[in-house]
Structure 1
Amino acid sequence: MPADRSLERLANATLLVPFEAYDPPRWTLEGLADGIAGVCLFHNNIAGPEQVKELNRLLGEAADAPLISLDEEGGDVTRIGHVAGSDYPGNAALGAIDDPELTRAVHRALGAELHALGFNLDLAPSVDVNTAADNPVIGTRSFGADADLVARHAAAAVTGLQEGGVAACAKHFPGHGATHQDSHDELPVIDADADLLDRRELLPFRAAVDAGARSVLTAHIQLPALGATGPATLTPEIVTGLLRREIGFDGMVISDALEMRGVSGDIGVPEASVRALRAGCDLLCLGRYVYADEIAAIRAAVVEAVRAGRLSGERLEDAAARTAAARQWTKERPAAMAGAADVGLDGARRAVRVEGELGPLHAPLVVEFDAPVGAAVGDVPWGVGPWFPDAVRLEAATARPADVLSDASGRDLVLVVRDAHRHPMIRSFVTELCRARPDAVVVEMGLPIWRPECRAHVSTYGAARVNAQSAAEVLGAAGPASLRLR
């Protein structure tokens, strides 16, 4: 059995750590030098392109090709675009267009931008088949509800990202699209038997693996029909049995964030880390708020688990070898291919759908309805307000329809919602306004599942900046060309 110091370095080689700063803390640089596999950046680490390039340069110099990663899906889930919204349409918009070559080009451009900023691993794409309309965590992050469609775009996205110069990561295995709960808060349960799982959830993962995805990220979901109890991330039958042996994936398996309550709420992050490694995960994504002291506790728990025989030394060595191979791949990656200019905006424009007769709008009053977003999305601006300076943002719980109707007197009325099908209060508010103003226009910037009776209904299939600009153009706004704030 390796000595404790060797075990500590092996444990370090399985850690993907966060930190809370625009500059790398000393403990992070020292940890990378001592074998920590890499870092995951979030909004709180990114102020702008030049800052993040310098940050990533310092991180990259701390060790030999550390993994420098982030969750950058484009669309609603963006880190590099968190100031003004993403320059790339999300997966739902690309799925609505259903042009795999466009999906590949968009992800190639995204990968090239990430590569130029100093990243080498993108925790994307989401290849979940979103079959639950009320899914609170996937939604527009999915290419769609049809497994074949998702599979062809999964392969295109993986290919594009890796052509752009970063390792892709297909997620959330074995599929988070049929859930009605958010694994950030609880453990969702999916009632899918082996046959349905194979025909629906697993098809896009097979396509992503066949396309050469360098990594796959697990889901904190429970699949009782498979005879497995507890989160998939901690289940050997799913990670090792299903992903490794049945599908034949030989790359790096990454856990979803272990601070999420769906995996560690009852046992704590150190114990979840041990069980994830034992199940077959190679790289432990710890989340956003797990820092130096907690990381030391995780390392100690892994070492102790090997000493106690709960985790084999061979499994830990195998995990470390797979993260080392991923790091070597990024080190040897050739220069990224340049992305096509405005490919994201062009794609977002192609995704917009208009039902009804829109026609010219007269001095429109634009009313946007705020709605909570999932933890994966975070606080990212959305809406068409930048193109309509007098647009108003309302809370359906506190605003009054009569006030909106009064303000809209003599003007066209545009109502902007986001996943209205998931928010009954917003639906009621919009329905009342449309009854009083059947000439109103409704813009849906989430999934267009609910459509009220109105003059025209505009669907963008996402709330990224480029989706918003595309909607604004359809509404007749000239639009500020200088909106790119990043």
Structure 2
Amino acid sequence: MSSPEKLAEAVLLPGFAGTTAPGWLRSRVADGLGGVILFGRNVVDDEQVAALTAQLRGERDGVVVGIDEEGGDVTRLDVNTGSFVPGPLALGAADDPELTTAVAAALGERLAACGVTINLAPCADLTLAAEDPIIGVRAFGSDPVKASPHVAAYVTGLQKYGVAACAKHFPGHGAATEDSHVALPVLPRTPEELREIELVPFAAAIRAGVRAVMTGHLVVRAWGDEPATLNRVALTDVLRGELGFTGAIITDALEMGAVSGAYGRHDGLGHSAVRALIAGADALCIGGAAFEADALDAINAAIVAAVTSGELPLERLADAAERTASLGTDPAPATVGPVDRRLGLEAARKALRVTGEPRLDGPPLVVDVQTEPTIAAGPMPWGLGAHLAELVPGTRAITAGPGDLDTILEAAQGFSSVVVVTREAHRHPRVRELLAALGESAVDFIRVETGAPGPLTGDGPRLDTFSGSYVSLRAAAEYLA
């Protein structure tokens, strides 16, 4: 058996800054660092990602290369353009599991060509609480029976090319009304309710052969006061025992506010790492922030100290290292090619939900109402204006905030068609106020909603895309044009 120091290093999956691997990271990979997690800050295009992963693999075969590529609103490969595939909620709305498999397989093939070994997707969460600040379009739907076939289909498609899928965020984030990036949500669920609702898609993913499951920083009071990531009942008794999962358990980022107490700080990460390993987690994701070597040194030292004191059995750490290493299997050989948006467009078109008769009467004014993206999504191109301007000559596109009613009313003069585009308007009181004020004005407008729809309000024409991806916005523009 390897030394505690080597085993501790083997379970770490940090993030880093830059589009090439810094020297300290290459050195640690060569010495046995478990792997890395890639984010938008590490991506220029597919060719660059392939070169980056080859650089890491040149230091050591079998290094784990993870990425948070959910498609739709949470994309890393397409952070500069918008995703070439619609998000999960749009795939759930299309309600064609075979199409979901095909979309996931296209993504898996692309990730394999980029040298990625594990994708931190799909979300097996459900879209349950209207005020949920973080899941929304990232889940396949709210009904566990209807969402589960899509979760399983996504796992099957993604793993076709050797890229491991990772169902998240166990035991399910959708009923939470707080964002675990910044706070510690408590799920208003009994274990029996979880078995009937949240755990159903996870069970489907496990039956489909998912190779990894990511923990959620979520408290279930019946399991104790610790979040699932640090909770032995959640990970060992329920996930492994009741659900029979035998693959790798990955933590959500340990620097998140729900477990670190202050998002982005490194204080106490070693303590959280040890508690997660004792609870039954294998790979420790510390990828949300860009880490340096000294932060990893502190975590490694805390794990080794826990082994030395007997708090963490060496056999448990060795088991975690072995499961982490299983995610470093090289994906099936593939070559980087141009991104093909045709399949994603097909899915996005099928997902559109039309209410009333949203039809243009001449070139429109398009108002893209900007709101802050979630922490999980981060900034990326969004909006319908550019798409419609390309398809309908004479279109005017403006970007507005929720408080820009007068600007919108002035711009609308002279246009017989106005299109107002929102992103989860139901979660933003000022956006709801804007829509209500526009409804009371003389402006007849078509509403396009790109997020989780929320309650249907008003009786005007409306188009729901269920995703803010490039292809979903394009599909909406095509429909209107």
TM-score bracket, normalised by the shorter chain, equals: over 0.9
Alignment of 1:219-238 (within 5 A): 219-224=216-221, 226-238=222-234
> Would you say 1:407 and 2:408 are equivalent positions?
no
Show the counterpart of 2:310. Answer: 309
1:31-70 map, 5 Å: 31-70=28-67
Aligned to 1:249: 245
Q: Could you say which residue in structure 2 is the equivalent of 1:87? A: 84
Amino acid at match of 1:205: F
- Separation in structure 1 between the aligned mates of residue 360 and residue 381 of structure 2, nearest angstrom: 27
Equivalent residue number for residue 440 of structure 2: 435
1:142-201 Cα offsets, whole Å, 9 max, x none, are 000000112111100000000133100000001111110000000001011111100111
The normalised TM-score by structure 1 is 0.93
Tell whether the 8 Å contact from 1:366 to 1:391 is kept in structure 2 after alignment: yes
Looking at structure 2, the residues matched to 300 and 402 of structure 1 have their Cα atoms a distance apart, in angstroms, of 59
Query: Does the aligned pair in 1 maintain the 2:10–2:321 contact within 8 Å?
Result: yes
Task: State the identity as a percent.
Answer: 44
Aligned-pair distance for 1:454? 5.0
1:457 to 447, 459, 462: 462
Q: Which moved more, 1:453-462 or 1:344-353?
A: 453-462
Shift of the alpha carbon at 1:438?
Answer: 5.7
| Among candidates 26, 30, 35, match of residue 27 of structure 2 | 30
Q: Report the CA distance between 1:361 and its aligned residue.
A: 2.8
Which residue in 1 is equivalent to 2:261? Answer: 265
Q: Distance in 2 between matches of 1:25 and 1:434?
A: 54
Matches within 5 A, 1:108-123: 108-123=105-120
1:334-371 deviation line (CA, Å, top 9, x unaligned): 44699986111110011111111223332211111111
Whole-Å separation in 1 of the counterparts to 2:480 and 2:254: 43
- Alignment partners' CA distance in 1, 2:388 and 2:299: 49
Please tell me the residue identity of whatever aligns with 1:235: N
How far is the alpha carbon of 1:99 from its aligned partner?
0.7
Q: Is the 8 A contact 1:91 1:142 kept in 2?
A: yes
Matches within 5 A, 1:274-353: 274-289=274-289, 290-327=291-328, 330-331=329-330, 333-335=331-333, 342-353=342-353
Q: CA RMSD in A?
A: 1.7
Q: Which residue of 2 aligns with 1:127?
A: 124
Counterpart code for 1:396: P
Q: Do the aligned partners of residues 153 and 205 (structure 1) sit closer, same or farther apart at CA in structure 2, a change above 3 Å counting?
A: same
Pair 1:421 & 2:426 matched: yes
Alignment of 1:461-472 (within 5 A): 461-472=466-477
- Go from structure 1 to structure 2 and tell me whether the alpha carbon gap of 1:422 and 1:68 turns closer, same or farther (over 3 Å shift): same
Identify which range, 250-259 or 436-445, moves more after superposition.
436-445
- Please tell me whether residue 167 in structure 1 is matched to residue 164 in structure 2: yes
TM-fit CA distance, 1:60: 1.3
For residues 182-236 of structure 1, the C-alpha deviation after alignment (integer angstroms, 9 at most, x for no partner) is 0000000101111110011111111101101010000001011x23111110000
**Which residue in the other structure is 1:187 paired with?**
184
Letter in 2 for 1:387: H
Q: 2:399 aligns with which of 393, 402, 415?
A: 393
Paired with 1:73 and 1:177, the residues of 2 have a C-alpha distance of 16
Aligned to 1:358: 358
Q: TM (normalized to structure 2)?
A: 0.94
Cα distance in 2 between the residues matched to 1:30 and 1:227: 40
Q: Is the 8 A contact 1:254 1:284 kept in 2?
A: yes
* Partner SS state of residue 130, structure 2: coil
Contact kept, 8 Å, 1:367 with 1:394, in 2: the verdict is yes
Aligned residues: 467
Stretch of structure 1 that moved more, 214-223 or 288-297: 288-297
Query: Partner amino acid for 2:377?
Result: V
DSSP-derived class of the 1:77 partner: coil
Mapped to 2, the partners of 1:18 and 1:227 lie a distance apart of: 30
Q: In the TM superposition, what is the alpha-carbon distance from 1:453 to its structure 2 partner? A: 2.5
Secondary structure of the 2:47 match is: helix
Conserved? CA contact 2:409–2:443, under 8 Å: no
Instruction: Summarize deviations over 1:272-322 as a string: whole Å, max 9, x none.
Output: 111111110000001232321111100001001111111111110110111
* Paired residue secondary structure (1:238): helix
Shift of residue 269, structure 1, vs aligned partner: 1.2
Gaps of at least 5 residues in structure 1 are: 477-486
Partner SS for 2:3? helix
Q: Is the 8 A contact 1:446 1:463 kept in 2?
A: yes
Q: Give the secondary-structure state (helix, strand or coil) at the position aligned to 2:169.
A: strand
Deviations 1:431-460 (A, max 9, x none): 111221362101001011243435310100
Q: Distance in 2 between matches of 1:51 and 1:305?
A: 39
Local SS of the residue matching 1:36: coil
Q: Given that residues 434 and 452 in structure 1 are in contact (C-alpha distance below 8 angstroms), is that contact kept between their aligned partners in structure 2?
A: no
Would you say 1:444 and 2:454 are equivalent positions? Answer: no
Distance between the aligned counterparts of 1:392 and 1:184, measured in 2? 32
Distance, in Å, in 1 between the alignment partners of 2:190 and 2:116 is: 38
